[in-house]
Copies of this chain bind each other. A is one copy, B any other.
Amino acid sequence: MTTIGVFDSGFGGLTVLRELLPLVPGAHYLYLGDSARLPYGSKSQATIARYAVESARFLVGRGAQHLVIACNTASALAMSDIQRTVEVPVTGVIEPAVEAALRSHPNAQVLVLATTATVHSGAYRLNCAARGLHAIEKACPLLVPLVEEGWLDHPVTREVLRIYLEEALAICTPEAVLLGCTHYPLIAPAIESTLRDLNSRAEHIDSARATALAVACSIQRSNTSAEAPGTALPATPATFQCFATDSVEKFERLGAHFLGRSVGPVQLVDLGG
């Protein structure tokens, strides 16, 4: 059975795990939320890289054969540090999301909504440019706190979205809006309806779903080459174990919203931070 390590600074990456479970059902998942040091989105590159590398080492040490960086900020700022550190295949969230945008909207303007650190990294802009997409990035620092407050369909969230999207649409006319943070799928309906209210026809692209698909394809490829051509994935149900670096009680309570089911008993780990 393949063991897949999924890592995020908190609960957000559970939206990626949620998409992975039906796509790669015959796997054992290890999920690590580095909740003692969240949010990464407002921190510096050096600090984020150090935290992400420690987390990646932990998951590989526990047996992960594939690593999913289910955190836009860590994917933007620590991908090459992680790849240098571990020897297993690593999938981040940025390339799959950009490729999904390219498939559905080639040559289009893409609006990327993300945290401040992700925007400052320029990772989406550079990745899009390399594929002929023109990306405009918009930092949305209040969206993560609003999702964590549970205000998913709330007048304040809609008003904040209206302000952020109005500012962005004043300088671009995108065909696609890329949700560049794993918290944002939980407010995708509010984002869509705000876009309609502002007379935009742009469609949202969910980086969690795009990433899960990329991981499924990568595992299918590596299983095929390592085992026997055409070997089907085993049909056993997926199992998972969650780890957190802070309060497991909060993780168990909030995590269920992101995963769409109980996260099970969460194990507290100390990464020395």
Selected from B37, B42, B148, B155, the residue in CB contact (under 8 A) with A159 is: B155
**Residue interface mask A74-113, B partner, CB < 8 A = 1:** 0000000000000000000000000000000000000000
A142 at the interface (CB under 8 A from B): yes
A residues with a Cβ closer than 8 A to B are 35-38, 42-44, 47, 141-142, 144-146, 148-149, 155-156, 159-160, 163, 245-247, 250, 272-273
Please report the C-alpha to C-alpha distance between residue A34 and residue B81 in the assembled complex, in whole angstroms: 24
* Closest 5 pairs (CB-CB, A-B): A44-B247, A145-B145, A273-B273, A36-B47, A47-B246
CB distance from A240 to the nearest CB of B (A): 22
Q: Are A43 and B47 in contact (CB under 8 A)?
A: no
For residue A254, which residue of chain B has the nearest CB? B42
Cβ of A247: which chain B residues have Cβ within 8 Å of it? 43-44, 47
What is the CB-to-nearest-CB distance from A262 to chain B, in angstroms, rounded to a whole number?
20
CA distance A247 to B42 in the complex (A): 9
Could you list 10 further interchain pairs (A-B, Cβ under 8 angstroms) beyond the known A36-B44, A43-B246, A156-B160? A36-B47, A38-B42, A42-B148, A44-B246, A47-B245, A141-B149, A142-B146, A155-B159, A156-B163, A272-B272
Give the Cβ gap from A34 to chain B, nearest Cβ, in Å: 11
The chain B residue sitting closest to A151, CB to CB, is B142
CB distance from A87 to the nearest CB of B (A): 26
Q: Which residues of B contact A146 (CB under 8 A)?
A: 142
Report the separation of the CA atoms of residues A32 and B44 in the bound assembly, to the nearest whole angstrom: 17
Among residues of B, the one whose C-beta sits closest to the C-beta of A35 is: B43
Cβ–Cβ < 8 Å partners of A145 in chain B:
141-142, 144-145
Identify which of A35, A142, A155 gathers the most chain B CB atoms within 10 Å of its CB: A142
Q: Which residue of B lies closest to A43 (CB)?
A: B246
Q: Chain B residues near A246 (CB, 8 Å)?
A: 43-44, 47
